[in-house]
Chain A
């Protein structure tokens, strides 16, 4: 089932290329149908999910037996939540209308290829396979930004994104090697690495390996000061690519922090948690402040990702900081912190994904991202305004929406470990409130300028995509029990181990 889920988009991509489909409309429908399949299949996987605390529904096949590498996929609470979010986001992004630049076939094929790569990162249980998918996702995103981005700058931004994150993944490669070499007999099996933790501790090798991984994940997430690839990539990417970049690719960084660093090297992480937490705090505050100063809609939203991923990593670091066995009281707060961080990954994917899709609608109509050129659009586009307002409030952490469920748990869970860091991180809540409400006010409210008299509201296709994402944001905000149960099945064994 998971293998089918994983490779269906790739197969669909090949079919799109091979089949004599012409025209944006039919290609869009075909690609949408293909992208719907993983979503449905993951729902089936979800319904079969038992929450045993280990990996379930494992499928494997020999790949490079001489190296101890195999094809192996499966899910636990963490990967299931992220994979489902990924499938949902891809579906919404693929059917979202953009300017296909006369190359719809290549666009949809690349997008579906990217979906397989992204799902692969979360579903792989073999470190080498994980690494393959990780790098493949870079390739897909590189072309999406470079070809369908805005203008000449897009290619530079794409290349910068590619080189920067490729550099990260090369550092990660060293980490992968180091972990691999510490096993005997050598294996890339992530289950084995999690169960035996061969390179956990305080030695030089462990510290260096940890740092390599941490650097790669900090670039991907991104944490300040490794975030500088992010703003140009986002601004120049087509909106659905931005959605995937922010919603899915950034999550690979936080996923790595949990899956590899927290699960395979908990003692090393415990010792290095404070520097990670401080970087996360800097990202929270710095990301929010720099976002506040941005006068370009897309750049502003892009920087809020730095802020939100900072929250997620702060939660992970808090969960990592205290080793089990130091008193039962911390089990609950560690559990809250890690659950909150995981919900943040899902929530940020949905919320920021929706926000970036909206910037695409804005671009299609106004051909600008400059806040100062916009205003009063609510008069012409009430639906657009309403959806943007919900997404903005969700992003600034209003209760009743998904972001609050995530951030509240991170704050409460992190507080006993890092009271000062959490107190300072709360300042991010105010700054994000300021920057989002200011954005709403200057884009949608106030008098309508003459030049936007003909501004169109969202069309049906756009509304379907956005409403789907916003619906999940609301459901997770009001009744997150189903999501928290799945995440808890993964978190509980981890914090009580």
Chain B
């Protein structure tokens, strides 16, 4: 690996390496539980410092594996914000895990995996070519597998991890294809050569990238993998949904979609995003498991980011990615506290407002940001997406507005059902100090993001990300705020009527929709089962062929053992005893290359194994020089046969 002289390039290399090194240290010192959180947090803070440095100095670096193969790294564009965001969100999450999972037997493993997750994501963020991107991309996936299966003694969790990994890896294939096509088109993996692409090659790169991004960011039809991911520990969910893993898809598209010259790419991204935003919104509204509802909302929010990228304003997507990361991590940690307090995530039996007032307030802050209520930062970034959509006309504006009102509806619903007041609720297990501190930190970040509303702040943030925000239509902003307000009122009315949990719908209607519109069932029917059936059929077929062969071999084995009158083991015993004899004979055989000697050899060989003898005789009918040659080959075969034969005579 080439280490550049400039310090900032070193700082950039530290972004993935420091957390990975930290992870290794944690595993090494796994017995000393008290120092583990300190090491983990120190590694993250150092990473954060390096991130700030590189975001200001914009280093470029890389490595060479060989004459053609090499990776390129750079902090550029949206990456300037992302390198900082990842460790900044990870720090409170690790603080939470340090406290709430302290007693787990896998405590060191959890912290190490969270750190490795950060390192892999940082690599993905600083990737400046397809090779580096693919490495980070797959490593992030592997980390999420290990995190989802963290509590591995319960076999449901590793199974869920496998499902999640396979779903996202199906998308990863797109990235392999995109990398291969980009190389075929430009002779390089570098992102800055992408604008040179044209024709089919460009289309393949675009399609592959879209597939990979959709799978990673849990867009349709891949969204259900996020539900499986809910079996991971809370800290893993909080990180996976905010700054790592899911963020990768939107990040890669925001950086690359604008420079890939394919006309259908942008509209496809926008359409896919809008569909997911609406579908995810409906699923989140009808889902009665707190974490699953939050997971569906993640798909929906990333759908909105896809819309922003698709309509040509990636800066708005980047901004929403950042605000979403803070408030979504906050909401997940809140869900974790609820689970810790009551042992359940069922929305019908929570209402922890009176019991956990502080958590209720922080959760409400997160929910208001999710709902898009000004003056929170989440509201600003969502308005920017509405503004971006409004540039393209009524269709996307209406769609985004509808999605925004759905977010308001489910955000309000979750806040009320999970942390609404319940006079009958008794004492519950309260969160401890470190957990509370982590939630307060994230709530603080969510509140601070409100500065986006100050004039000029957002524009400079967008500039930092290398983009510009859209100047939207005034009516669109008004419409979306009205829609959000209407959703809020509807939510309140339903709460008062007591219909907020299931909207009075029968489970028969509600459940299929709440479990991702039946997509998992369809995937099971159309993909998983056929593949497994095909695999079993092929395996059975394969076995039959093999059995036939083995039966044949058994017959020959019987023949051979009759021929020698010995069992194989006795043969070997005897063979070892006379190995020196055999070696001497072989040596002599190869020395005696004259006619007579070789002749005798061939005859010996022919006596030994009938089939080979026939073969030799057939070959012997040729010209005289061929004869010599075959004689020599006979010598070779002799060595194979000699050991058997000599043993036989020896006995």
Please give the residue numbers on chain A whose beta carbons come within 8 Å of chain B beta carbons, in ascending order.
13-14, 17-18, 63-64, 66-67, 69, 101, 103, 105-106, 109-110, 128, 131-132, 135-136, 138-139, 143, 146-147, 153, 155-160, 163-164, 166, 170, 173, 176-177, 180-181, 186, 225, 228-229, 231-232, 286, 289-290, 292-294, 329, 332-333, 335-336, 339, 375-376, 378-379, 393, 398-400, 404-405, 408-409, 411-412, 414-416, 419, 422-423, 426-427, 429-431, 433-434, 437-438, 440-441, 445-448, 479-481, 484-485, 488, 492
Contact = CB atoms under 8 A, between A and B. Distances in A.
Contact of A293 (B161, B532, B628, B632): B532
Interface string B119-135: 00000000000010011
15 contacts: A14-B579, A109-B579, A132-B639, A136-B640, A143-B572, A155-B557, A157-B550, A186-B625, A229-B549, A293-B536, A294-B539, A412-B183, A429-B176, A433-B169, A448-B153
B557 A423 contact: no
A21 B645 CA distance: 27
Contacts of A135: 636-637, 639-640
B576 A17 contact: yes
Contacts of A64: 590, 593, 632
A399 B138 contact: yes
B535 interface: yes
A405 B539 contact: no
B546 interface: yes
Nearest to A153: B550
A479 B639 contact: no
Contacts of A426: 173, 176-177
Interface stretch (B65-73, B425-433, B466-474): B65-73
Given A17-B580, A228-B542, A408-B134, A398 B139 contact: yes
B593 A441 contact: no
A180 B534 CA distance: 45
A434 B66 contact: no
Contacts of B131: 408
B546 A232 contact: yes
Contact of B155 (A131, A177, A408, A441): A441
Given A105-B576, A430-B169, A329 B154 contact: no
B64 interface: yes
B572 A106 contact: yes
Residue with the greatest number of chain B CB neighbours at <10 A, chosen from A135, A375, A427: A135
A427 B172 CA distance: 11
B176 A408 contact: yes
A106 B553 contact: no
B386 to A, nearest CB: 38
A343 B468 CA distance: 45
Contacts of B81: none
A215 B626 CA distance: 22
B626 A181 contact: yes
Given A146-B568, A414-B180, 9 more contacts: A14-B580, A147-B572, A156-B553, A156-B554, A160-B549, A232-B549, A289-B535, A429-B169, A446-B152
B615 interface: yes
Using C-beta atoms within 8 Å of the partner chain, give the interface range for chain B: 35 or more
3 nearest A-B pairs in the assembled complex, by CB-CB distance: A446-B155, A484-B66, A293-B539
A403 B463 CA distance: 41
B633 interface: yes
A219 B511 CA distance: 53
A447 B633 contact: no
B117 to A, nearest CB: 14
B406 interface: no
Contacts of A378: 152
Nearest to A224: B542
B173 A429 contact: yes
A333 B184 contact: yes
B1 interface: yes
B596 to A, nearest CB: 14
Contact of A445 (B67, B155, B590, B612): B155
Contacts of A229: 549
Contacts of A155: 557, 568
Contacts of A485: 66
B152 A433 contact: no
Contacts of B154: 446-447
B636 A180 contact: no
A132 B636 CA distance: 5
Contacts of A109: 576, 579
A181 B630 CA distance: 12
B628 A66 contact: yes
Nearest to B146: A389
A100 to B, nearest CB: 12
B149 interface: yes
Nearest to A481: B65
Contacts of A379: 153
Interface string B621-634: 00001101110110
Contacts of B539: 289-290, 293-294
Contacts of B46: none
A481 B64 contact: yes
Contacts of A66: 593, 628
